[in-house]
Copies of this chain bind each other. A is one copy, B any other.
């Protein structure tokens, strides 16, 4: 066998382990997390890996393929639903898990559902979702309704969460105050209700976590309540 050089096991200097798809994808994920989708370029990525840009193309077909792989890594982070634990807790936990993943990787939000070639983790995740609901007695049609509505809520929430420029309830107050000062005075007069909300949010703070739980409970409650009706395969109203 070839002797391993005793020096660095980590890639550095003249010695560097051969690249493979996994390390390229992992590094790309880290880069996107750090610098956003705009910062994710073949050149910066290759530099992080200590390699020339074109070397990446030995491991990914093109940038689209790179994104496909990255998205499937994100899917792999999402907890799989499991009918054994009951559809409600299972779906709730999966939704929370999906939101957390989208929070860790905000650049992924628009892309999770948009892949032309869904990866393995993506397929596995959706398969488990269908299995959980079908296994819990939901009709085929109902299963589609529920996944559609629940996912819509989580995606949409993550989208809003990404947009607002604060992370904690305390920060939200500062941001609101700043916005109020930035806004031209005529805007305040023109949009009184908006002004009220910004004021109140600034005072009371805005907590994404409880906001998410509230909405999630709302949707799950509604599903629970409508379940027997949907079991009977009623046509939608």
- Could you list which residues of chain A lie within 8 angstroms of chain B, going by C-beta atoms? 109-110, 113-114, 116, 123-124, 126-131, 134, 140-141, 143-145, 148-149, 151-157, 159-160, 162-163, 165, 187, 190-194, 196-197, 200-201, 204, 206, 210-211, 213-215, 217-219, 221-223, 226, 236-237
Nearest B residue to A132, CB-CB: B193
A155 contact set on B, CB distance < 8 A: 152, 155-156, 159-160
Most chain B beta-carbon neighbours within 10 Å: one of A114, A131, A156, A197: A156
Query: Using Cβ atoms and an 8 Å threshold, which residues of chain B touch A193?
Result: 127-131, 134
Is the beta-carbon distance between B140 and A197 smaller than 8 angstroms? yes
Residues on B with beta carbons closer than 8 Å to the beta carbon of A134: 193, 196
19 new A-B contacts, CB < 8 A, other than A130-B196, A145-B214, A152-B155, are: A109-B110, A110-B110, A113-B159, A114-B162, A127-B190, A129-B193, A134-B193, A140-B197, A144-B197, A144-B206, A152-B153, A152-B154, A153-B156, A155-B160, A159-B159, A211-B236, A213-B237, A218-B219, A221-B222
Main secondary structure of the interface of A (DSSP, over half): helix
B196 in contact with A213 (CB, 8 Å): no
Q: Does A160 lie within 8 Å of B148, measured CB to CB?
A: yes
- Cα separation A187 to B120 with both chains bound (whole Å): 9
Least distance between A213 CB and chain B CB atoms (Å)? 6
Whole-angstrom distance from the CB of A107 to the nearest CB of chain B?
Answer: 10
CB-CB < 8 A to A148: which residues of B?
A: 157, 160, 211, 215
Q: Chain B residues near A130 (CB, 8 Å)?
A: 193-194, 196-197
Residues of B within 8 A of A124 (CB): 190-191
Chain B's closest residue to A230 (CB) is: B214
In the bound complex, do residue B201 and residue A144 qualify as a contact, i.e. CB atoms below 8 Å apart? yes
B151→A160 contact, CB < 8 A: yes
**Distance (whole angstroms) from the CB of A186 to the closest CB of chain B:** 11
